[in-house]
Amino acid sequence: MITWDEVLQYIRDNLSLPSGFIEKTDDEIRKYLISNALREFSRYFPDWEYTKIDTNDPELKHPTIKNRWKIVDNLGLDIFGIRDCIFDLTNSMVTGHPVIGPFSLGELRTWALDVYESNLLAPYTMFNYTYNFIPPNWIELITDTSPPKIFVVQYERMQPLDLSKIAPALYQKFKEFCLAYIKIWIGELRSKYGDNRLSTPFGEIPLNGADLKQEGLQEKARLVDEFEDAIVPPVIIISQ
């Protein structure tokens, strides 16, 4: 698992002046990255979680709008959207969904066809549930019947603040993204020094704040392009 200590060390290794000086403390840098870099990174690579909605729970009901309930994240993280809703099979059975699964390979074909036909028919019946995500954390059901007593929501959320859910394949990209954000932030601060130089016991050091900021902006833009490309589903072309 990647940690903030690794991220901060990566930043210091790539950003420090020869004296080892950075204008912000580790705690200030971490808080800044959580509020900015981690939040934006999560838009491209969100975590996901499940929660149960009890439609009779007064703590979850919207105070004025019918059939709208609050999605409560167990870590209090930002919620970006809904991946799926899972309802019981009561309504699906009306459209022919099998109650139990197949017991043999011979039954599998018929069972799969029944499931497919049931799901195909469901959107056109009065027993279908349509759901919408209402920011920041509400789900709304649109239905011609009474809402279910309980259903489960799978939702997308911000990555946990301890970075525990970031995929190993994204560790390096996340560190680079954080470094780009800090280059922009520190570059902006350094560009405000009157003569753009810092006096230290080692002598005068040129800060080059504007150059550092521009470098960070370019690196951030490159990474965002890579993130956007990574989340676009592949296009499959079948030749005939």
Q: What pLDDT shows up at residue 7?
A: 97
- Number of alpha carbons in the 13 Å side-chain half-sphere of residue 54: 4
* pLDDT for 208: 77
Euclidean distance between CA atoms 217 and 221, whole angstroms: 6
pLDDT confidence of residue 2: 96
User: In the prediction, which pLDDT does 105 show?
Assistant: 75
* pLDDT under 70: residue ranges of the chain: 16-21, 89-97, 99-100, 117-127, 193-207, 232-240
Tell whether pTM > 0.85: no
pLDDT tens-place string over residues 65-79: 999 999 999 999 999
pLDDT of residue 146: 83
pLDDT of residue 210: 84
